[in-house]
Structure 1
Amino acid sequence: MAYFYLNFKCMKRIGIIGLNEQAIHHIERIKESNDFDLVGLYDHNTIFAKKIANKYGLRYYNCPIDIIEQAEVLDFVAPHPMDFEHASMAIKSARHLFFEDYFLQDIQKATKLLDLAEEAQVKVHISRCDRFNPAVEKARKYIQNPSFIETRRALAYSDQSSNINPIMGLLLKDIDLILSFVDSGIRKIQTRTNNPFSDKVELINVRIEFDNSCVANLNLSSLSSVSYSKAAFYQNTGVIHIDLHDSKLEILSGAKEQKNNKTVSFENNSSGFDSLTSELESLSACIDDNSHTIVGLRDLTTALEVMDEIRNQLAI
Structure 2
Amino acid sequence: MLKIGIFGVGHLGKIHLSQLMTMKDVEVVGFYDPSNANAASVAAQYQIPRFTIAEELILAADAINIVAPTTQHFKLCEIALRNGRHIFVEKPMTNTMEEAKTLVKLVEEANVKFQVGHVERFNPAFLALKGYPLKPMFIEVHRLAEFNPRGTDVSVILDLMIHDIDIVLSIVQSTISRISASGVAVMSDTPDIANVRIEFHNGCVANLTSSRISLKKMRKMRLFQKDAYIGIDFLDKKTEIIKLKTPADEGLFTLDIETNAGKKTIAIDNPEVKQVNAIRMELELFRDSILQHKPVAVNVIDGLQALDVAHQILQKISKNQSSPAVS
Smaller-chain TM-score bracket: 0.7 to 0.9
Which of 94, 99, 102 aligns to 1:104? It is 94
- Asked if 2 retains the 8 angstrom alpha-carbon contact of 1:18 and 1:80, the reply is no
SS of the residue corresponding to residue 88 of structure 1 reads helix
Shift of 1:84: 2.2
**Aligned partner letter, 1:35:** D
Question: Structure 1 residues 120-129 or 159-168, which shifts more?
Answer: 159-168
- RMSD (Å), alpha carbons: 2.6
**Aligned partner letter, 2:26:** F
Distance 1:139 1:38 in 2: 34
What residue number does 1:266 align with?
270
Which of 20, 26, 39 aligns to 1:36? It is 26
Unaligned runs of 5+ in 1: 1-10
Shift of 1:163: 4.5
Shift of 1:201: 2.4
Distance 2:214 2:52 in 1: 43
- Asked if 1 retains the 8 angstrom alpha-carbon contact of 2:146 and 2:214, the reply is yes
- Asked if 2 retains the 8 angstrom alpha-carbon contact of 1:189 and 1:209, the reply is yes
1:278 aligns with 2:281: yes
- Asked if 2 retains the 8 angstrom alpha-carbon contact of 1:41 and 1:60, the reply is yes
- Asked if 1 retains the 8 angstrom alpha-carbon contact of 2:119 and 2:278, the reply is yes
- Asked if 2 retains the 8 angstrom alpha-carbon contact of 1:155 and 1:221, the reply is yes
What residue number does 2:168 align with?
178
Question: Structure 1 residues 125-134 or 98-107, which shifts more?
Answer: 98-107
What residue number does 1:7 align with?
none
What residue number does 1:4 align with?
none
Which of 302, 305, 314 aligns to 1:302? It is 305
> Alpha carbons of 1:16 and 1:157: their partners in 2 closer, same or farther (altered >3 Å)?
closer
Shift of 1:234: 1.0
Question: Structure 1 residues 113-122 or 136-145, which shifts more?
Answer: 136-145
TM-score when normalising by structure 2: 0.84
State how many pairs are aligned. Answer: 305
Which of 204, 207, 210 aligns to 1:220? It is 210
Following superposition of structure 1 onto structure 2, how do residues 80-159 of structure 1 map, counting pairs within 5 Å? 82-156=72-146
> Alpha carbons of 1:208 and 1:124: their partners in 2 closer, same or farther (altered >3 Å)?
same
| Seq. identity, % | 30
Shift of 1:207: 0.8
Shift of 1:125: 1.1
> Alpha carbons of 1:285 and 1:246: their partners in 2 closer, same or farther (altered >3 Å)?
same
Distance 1:30 1:221 in 2: 31
What residue number does 1:249 align with?
239
Which of 285, 291, 304 aligns to 2:294? It is 291
SS of the residue corresponding to residue 234 of structure 1 reads strand
TM-score when normalising by structure 1: 0.87
Question: Structure 1 residues 262-271 or 297-306, which shifts more?
Answer: 262-271
Distance 2:233 2:162 in 1: 18
Shift of 1:265: 1.6
SS of the residue corresponding to residue 201 of structure 1 reads coil
What residue number does 1:235 align with?
225
**Aligned partner letter, 2:20:** I
Unaligned runs of 5+ in 2: 246-258, 320-327
